[in-house]
Amino acid sequence: MNTTKTDISTLGEFGLIKHLTQSIKLENSSSIKGIGDDCAVLSYPDKQVLITSDILMEGVHFDLTYCPLKHLGYKAAMVNFSDVYAMNGYPRQLVVNIAVDRRFSVEDIESIYSGIRLACEQHHVDLVGGDTSSSLTGLVISPTCIGEGDKESIVYRNGAKDTDLICVSGNLGAAYMGLQLLEQEKAVYNQQVKEGKKDLAFQPDFTGKEYILERQLKPEARRDIVETLKKANILPTAMMDISDGLSSELMHICESSKTGCLIYEERIPLDYQTAAMAEHLNMNVITCALNGGEDYELLFTVNLADYDSIKNLEDIRIIGRITKPELGCKLETRDGQEFELKAQGWNPLKTQESAEI
Amino acid sequence: MNTTKTDISTLGEFGLIKHLTQSIKLENSSSIKGIGDDCAVLSYPDKQVLITSDILMEGVHFDLTYCPLKHLGYKAAMVNFSDVYAMNGYPRQLVVNIAVDRRFSVEDIESIYSGIRLACEQHHVDLVGGDTSSSLTGLVISPTCIGEGDKESIVYRNGAKDTDLICVSGNLGAAYMGLQLLEQEKAVYNQQVKEGKKDLAFQPDFTGKEYILERQLKPEARRDIVETLKKANILPTAMMDISDGLSSELMHICESSKTGCLIYEERIPLDYQTAAMAEHLNMNVITCALNGGEDYELLFTVNLADYDSIKNLEDIRIIGRITKPELGCKLETRDGQEFELKAQGWNPLKTQESAEI
């Protein structure tokens, strides 16, 4: 948190909102009226409107010990944009509700907003509203994103068909490895505090691990992939973003589309740092890639006829194919064995026990 | 909370959402796709889209000691609908994010949802999405409502003109008096507990106070007023809903519209129970009506030429008029004195001190 501390009550709710939002300019023609009335007013005469919303809770979704407030704001916006891209649409407006307890100063909220606004600028999204409240304990951020898509090109989860190719963007498991790294450093720090060495300047060494750290703290929504597919004239048959892990999301697509799937271990895209960190922690890197979550890459299926168009597209990897429903959801390992995929995806309702320790 | 307690982890996040939402049917033609994908998909080719969002925090906005979960869900939805009516629009879709700590069972969340769904049914609103998470401490509800309005008839805060009539629906201060009543009974109960009498069956007597209690626990968004005005061919020049108190909202309209105003004490609509409770608590009922908040009545201004059309409309009262900006915002008392209006509206960022006691 910031060193200068202005008490929020000096501004009040309306003053604070004014302070945070007065310099906002609306960029999109669909944004008719932004902050400052009972509702924001939007206009979508020729498009369908996409709505997605999240709630991020301190201690459950993020840990302020190692997550800077600006990054948190950035991530909160980005994960919502990612959901809109996952429908093959474009995010246009964002509403962010924030509740803070009294650890937070005006400058802290400015930091959160600066991250939100940076994400908005990068994705040409207008910040059009939001509620600000106090909280008895803990920070809460609840963003809602409004986007648009053409009726004919919005991609749902339920359109995958037998023989479709399964593709993912980027690489997987990196965000989860970044989280493990941060948790490890936090444990070291806490141990030092416990041993009374807390006045030692704590300097974790992240050299060579910058990439996995960034994937955890500053995820990027894959607008570029949506644009790449459009340019290549490829309309996915089904699409999701990977927030809970590849296995979990793929099973959602198969369940919605009433299909099975087969993916190949050797095709799962991994970054070197992800593999190195997994090795260091004695974890199976494929398990991390399958179940890690928070990658915010796009998982999609395309018609087999699109094979030639998609096979050489940058940063997209074909990892398997859709099968008949009776074949289930399978992973074929490097040595030719087949395993049932399991959704061990991160579940924010099951982490209470561990989160409360 | 409910007596049957099913642990949430037995269902998991996806199971819980499925359980809560599987029987939802979409009612509006603008709702293309509801719960079950990365985004909800809406269609608004001929209307402008209205978006409003809130965050309700346990201990700040509500107290579960006396607020039943079903009522809380109902109120969370209703206050968002109210914001859409305040733009002279109609709510059509609702997204609700909920975070619960481990005091809450599946049945508790069902209760919250049953209130949300009751409100939705009454106002023909489709529940199209929402995130469910755990919380380390306290319940959080963050609803976002999507509505529609005709471009020509959406009413903003900034359209009030000198000589316009100022009107309010219903009556004011009742919700605040209901809150005082509940707080009073809570104090009595806590005192009994303190004195070791907690095994006494605590039975607060609310006879003759049902109305103010209902105004606090089960507010109703004034769709009927929007319809009444439409039938009477009256388009307000400015409108807001009264969530923070009449003074505060009126000053918002005057600031946005760059006008002053003059309202008359004797014209402020009060219910008998509100007046009786204020008397009982030795409070000034006009102060309560001006600053109480949570009434969710509509405050609006109409052109002077609409006087004949509006003067006899049911449940609408003309309380004053818009004036030139240099005259400020004034209240004229029964004895002819003029006072400057002050916005002492309820401020969720200033209540931390008292809320934490």
User: What are the 10-residue block averages of pLDDT along chain B, 357 residues in total?
Assistant: 76 81 91 94 97 96 93 97 98 96 93 96 96 92 97 97 98 96 89 76 82 96 98 98 95 97 97 96 94 95 97 97 97 94 65 33
Distance in Å, alpha carbon of A74 to nearest chain B alpha carbon = 19
Which neighbouring-strand residues pair with A298?
A241
Rounded to the nearest 10°, the torsion over CA B311, B314, B315, B321 is: -10
pLDDT at residue A7 in the model: 87
Residue A74: left (phi > 0), alpha (psi -120 to 50), or beta?
alpha
Distance CA B302, CA B312 (A): 14
Which neighbouring-strand residues pair with A51?
A146, B40
Quick check: B52 contacting A, CB < 8 Å?
A: yes
DSSP state at residue A164: P
Distance CA B308, CA A192 (A): 77
Q: Residue B97: list chain A partners with CB under 8 A.
A: 53-55, 142
Q: Residue B352: list chain A partners with CB under 8 A.
A: 9, 101-102, 134
In this predicted model, which residue has the larger pLDDT, A195 or A325?
A325
Answer whether B68's CB lies under 8 Å from B111's CB. yes
Tokens at A227, concatenated:
């644009």
* Closest residue in B to A9 (Cα–Cα): B350
Answer whether B52's CB lies under 8 Å from A129's CB. yes
Tokens at A202, concatenated:
């704590």
pLDDT at residue A199 in the model: 58
Quick check: A194 contacting B, CB < 8 Å?
A: no
* Closest residue in B to A344 (Cα–Cα): B12
pLDDT at residue A342 in the model: 86
Strands A31-33 and B40-43, bridge-based pairing: unpaired
Place of tokens 């106002």: B123
Distance CA B94, CA B83 (A): 12
User: pLDDT tens, A117-136?
Assistant: 999 999 999 999 999 999 99
Q: Do A142 and B142 touch (CB under 8 A)?
A: yes
Say whether pLDDT at A23 is over 90: no
Distance CA A280, CA A303 (A): 39
Instruction: Give the pLDDT band of residue A349 (cuts 50, 70, 90).
Output: low
pLDDT at residue A345 in the model: 58
Distance CA B173, CA B284 (A): 11
Q: Residue A86: list chain B partners with CB under 8 A.
A: 38-39
Cα separations in angstroms, B106 against B13, B55, B174: 11, 21, 33
Q: What percent of chain A has pLDDT over 70?
A: 94
Question: Which of B278, B282, B81, B317 minimizes the C-alpha distance to B175?
Answer: B278
C-alpha angle with apex B170: B165 to B173, nearest 5 degrees? 105
Q: What integer is the mean pLDDT of A113-119?
A: 97
DSSP state at residue B227: H
Distance CA A328, CA A344 (A): 16
Tokens at A68, concatenated:
């800077």
Q: Do A128 and B356 touch (CB under 8 A)?
A: no
Window 322-351 of A, Cβ < 8 Å to B? 347-351
Q: Do B131 and A256 touch (CB under 8 A)?
A: no
Rounded to the nearest 10°, the torsion over CA B162, B164, B170, B172 is: 10
3-state SS class at A274: helix
Which neighbouring-strand residues pair with B322?
B261
User: pLDDT tens, A327-344?
Assistant: 999 999 999 999 999 877
Distance CA B234, CA A10 (A): 41
Distance CA A247, CA A244 (A): 8
Say whether pLDDT at A54 is over 80: yes
- Side-chain half-sphere CA neighbours of A147 within 13 A: 32
Name the helix (H) or strand (E) containing B290. Answer: helix B285-291
- Side-chain half-sphere CA neighbours of A62 within 13 A: 24
Buried b (16+ CB within 10 A) or exposed e, A215-235: bbbbbbbbbebbebbeeeebb
Q: Do A13 and B154 touch (CB under 8 A)?
A: no
Strands B260-264 and B132-134, bridge-based pairing: unpaired
Distance CA B47, CA B43 (A): 9
- Give the DSSP letter string of B111-167: HHHHHHHHHHHHTT-EEEE--EEE-SSS-EEEEEEEEEE-TTT---STT--TTPEEE
Distance CA A298, CA A310 (A): 14
* Closest residue in A to B242 (Cα–Cα): A38
pLDDT at residue A267 in the model: 97
Distance CA B239, CA B261 (A): 14
Q: Do B351 and A134 touch (CB under 8 A)?
A: yes
Distance CA A216, CA A180 (A): 10
Answer whether A322's CB lies under 8 Å from A166's CB. yes
Name the helix (H) or strand (E) containing B261. Answer: strand B260-264
C-alpha angle with apex A304: A301 to A307, nearest 5 degrees? 95
- Measured between CB atoms, which of B13, B44, B83 is closest to A347? B13
> What is the distance in angstroms between the CA of the first residue and the CA of the last residue of chain B?
23
Answer whether A247's CB lies under 8 Å from A345's CB. yes
Distance CA A42, CA B49 (A): 5
Q: Do B39 and A355 touch (CB under 8 A)?
A: no
Q: Do B51 and A84 touch (CB under 8 A)?
A: no
User: pLDDT tens, A315-324?
Assistant: 999 999 999 9
Window 210-239 of A, Cβ < 8 Å to B? 239
- Measured between CB atoms, which of B46, B53, B86 is closest to A95? B53
Q: Residue B56: list chain A partners with CB under 8 A.
A: 133
3-state SS class at A129: strand
Q: What percent of chain A has pLDDT over 90?
A: 79
pLDDT at residue B210 in the model: 95
Instruction: Give the pLDDT band of residue A200 (cuts 50, 70, 90).
Output: low
Name the helix (H) or strand (E) containing A329. Answer: strand A329-332
User: pLDDT tens, A219-252?
Assistant: 999 999 999 999 999 999 999 999 999 999 999 9
Distance CA B109, CA B279 (A): 38
- Measured between CB atoms, which of B38, B56, B149 is closest to A241? B38
Quick check: A57 contacting B, CB < 8 Å?
A: yes
pLDDT at residue A80 in the model: 97
Amino acid at A21: T
Distance CA B100, CA B109 (A): 8
pLDDT at residue B357 in the model: 25
Strands B298-302 and B165-169, bridge-based pairing: antiparallel
- In a mutational test of the A interface, the residue from B10, B37, B152 whose CB has the highest number of chain A CBs within 10 Å is B37
Answer whether B60's CB lies under 8 Å from B94's CB. no
- Side-chain half-sphere CA neighbours of A14 within 13 A: 14
Q: Residue A31: list chain B partners with CB under 8 A.
A: none
Window 64-83 of A, Cβ < 8 Å to B? 83
Q: Residue B37: list chain A partners with CB under 8 A.
A: 87, 156-157, 256
Distance in Å, alpha carbon of B63 to nearest chain A alpha carbon = 12
3-state SS class at A36: coil
pTM of the full structure: 0.93
Quick check: B146 contacting A, CB < 8 Å?
A: yes
User: pLDDT tens, A60-111?
Assistant: 999 999 899 999 999 999 999 999 999 999 999 999 999 999 999 999 999 9
Window 30-49 of A, Cβ < 8 Å to B? 32-33, 36-46, 48-49
Q: Residue B22: list chain A partners with CB under 8 A.
A: none
3-state SS class at A70: helix
Question: Which of B161, B124, B115, B145 minimizes the C-alpha distance to B258?
Answer: B161
Amino acid at A78: M
pLDDT at residue B354 in the model: 34
Q: Do A350 and B9 touch (CB under 8 A)?
A: yes
Distance in Å, alpha carbon of A203 to nearest chain B alpha carbon = 29
What count of other Cβ atoms lies within 10 Å of the Cβ of residue A285? 21
